[in-house]
Amino acid sequence: MPSATLPSVLAGLDPVPLDEIFALNRAFATDPASQKVSLGVGVYRTDDGKPWPLPVVEKAEKQLLDEGSLFRHEYSAIEGDVAFVEQARNLMFGFDRKTESPKEKEAKKRIASVQTVAGTGANHLGALFLKTHMKPKNVWLSNPSWANHLTIWEVAGVSYKTYPYYNAATRSLDFDGMMSALENEGQEGDIVLLHACAHNPTGLDPTKEQWKAIAELCERKKLFPFFDSAYQGFATGSVEDDAWAVRYFFENKPSMEMCVAQSFSKNFGLYGQRVGAFHYVLNVESTGLQEAVFSNLCNLIRGEFSMGPVGGSTIVKKVLTDDNLTSEWHDNLKTMSSRIISMRKALYDELTRLGTPGTWEHIVQQNGMFSYTGLTPGQVQSLKEKYHVYMLKSGRISISGLSKKNVTYVAQAIDDTVRNVS
């Protein structure tokens, strides 16, 4: 007789909701409407709505192909491509790649750096490392934050709390609420997740004076800053301006430790190549621990993915070690950032021309790829159903999805929706 069929060992497994961004993108792709607009996924698009492989990346790819290195498909080290990791560190912390002053040489001893699987992998590796070796009670995430931050820290097994960040009434940064929560509820050893620039999803960043106050609070309360840097150079067109907060903490708070998750997806247009780095910064009294931190990071990497992928990191290394290519890359960054800025202004101007109820200055005051529009979930749903304009339920839009061809249509859709849907 055949044996009885046993239930799966996963019989009690419940499904989890699909990632909203990817589900939204799927819905957009299958929408048969002739006029539709995707403002959901955070990738750069040209004014024609097409992907834009950076010209400097294409040039680097051709040079690499012509070189035909026999080692291009070989394993790298566990810590990744060493030369790439050095360039990533130099870019993040502002070190000169050609000369090394005695001060910079000492400063580099504070940093343990490794290659990761993009910014997501850097965030995950950092969370896992801190959970394992620092054992924090809590991680503080901004409310709102990039949705994947929550998933990453839940997977790492660290409890989370949120600090106020967005003031819905004024559509501005709730700096006082943020500082009050961290001041009154933050405990020594808690991690504070900070967006280095172009906050996702609100597009709202602290001013330099506010960053200084955040650094002072973290130092005094012994909170551990964890920077997520996903848009260096993409947000403003300047790698220096977009790294200002990280560099200020590093240079002006030498007694405080921190870490940085670094992504090259946006600023090099290497979304699918998964290029990233993680940097752990020791305080000035603990540089002797650099090798211990480095080796423990490598141990986690070895157990998870062995080493980072070499394709994208080789492109980044090629660009950042060639003066001409680096200069061209800076020009490409300005091209992307300026288009984003111009689309912010175009949407704002059109909403103003239409006399759309409410205030819309926040669209041009925000920074980077995303804007928190202030639209309600009901309005977002109506925009999708009536006008086939797709955005997240929170009202967050990717400015890159706007173009000269559709910005008038989107503004008119928003205007009609705001007037008729609460």
If 0-12 CB within 10 Å is exposed, 13-18 middle and 19+ buried, where does residue 3 land?
exposed
Nearest to 171 by CA among 392, 415, 375, 402: 375
Task: Please state the pTM of the whole predicted model.
Answer: 0.93
Is 65's pLDDT higher than 90? yes
By three-state DSSP, how is residue 71 classified?
coil
Q: What is the DSSP string of 286-330?
A: -GGGHHHHHHHHHHHHHHHTSS--HHHHHHHHHHHT-HHHHHHHH
SS3 assignment, position 258: strand
How would you label 50-67 residue by residue, b for 16+ Cβ within 10 Å and e otherwise? eebebebbebbeeebeee
Identified catalytic residue from 174, 211, 253, 266: 266
Q: What's the rounded Cα separation, in Å, for the pair 373 and 362?
A: 8
Where helices occur in 305-406 by DSSP H, the ranges are 310-320, 323-354, 362-365, 377-382
pLDDT tens-place string over residues 110-151: 999 999 999 999 999 999 999 999 999 999 999 999 989 999
- Mark whether 228 is an active-site residue: yes
- How are beta strands 275-281 and 258-263 bridged, if at all? antiparallel
Ordered by start, the domain boundaries in the chain are 20-52+337-420, 75-321
Single out the catalytic residue among 52, 146, 153, 211.
Answer: 146
pLDDT of residue 1: 55
Q: What angle do CA 282, 89, 295 make, to 5 degrees?
A: 55
- Dump pLDDT digits (tens) for 310-363: 999 999 999 999 999 999 999 999 999 999 999 999 999 999 999 999 989 999
Taking the C-alpha atoms of residue 256 and residue 246, their distance in angstroms, rounded to an integer, is 12
Active site residue 146: yes
Q: Which regions of 96-250 does DSSP assign to beta strands (E)? A: 111-117, 138-143, 159-164, 166-167, 172-173, 191-195, 224-229
Q: Rounded to an integer, what distance in angstroms lies between the CA atom of residue 25 and that of residue 40?
A: 7
One-character DSSP codes across 142-174: EES--HHHHHHHHHHT-EEEEEE-EETTTTEE-
User: Does 109 qualify as catalytic in the annotation?
Assistant: no
H/E element, 398: strand 396-398
User: pLDDT tens-digit profile of 19-57?
Assistant: 888 888 889 999 999 999 999 888 899 999 899 999 999
- Convert the pLDDT of each residue in 149-192 to its tens digit: 999 999 999 999 999 999 988 889 999 999 999 999 999 999 99
| Distance from chain centroid for Cα 60 | 24
DSSP 8-class letter at 111: E
Q: Which helix (H) or strand (E) holds 276?
A: strand 275-281
User: Would you state the pLDDT for residue 275?
Assistant: 97
In angstroms, rounded to a whole number, what is the distance separating the alpha carbons of residues 338 and 50? Answer: 17
Tell me which of 140, 228, 242, 360 is the catalytic residue. 228
The hierarchical CATH code for the domain 75-321 is 3.40.640.10
Name the CATH code of domain 20-52+337-420 (choices 3.40.190.10, 3.90.1150.10, 3.40.50.300, 3.40.1160.10).
3.90.1150.10
Which residues is 370 bridged to in the sheet?
Answer: 398
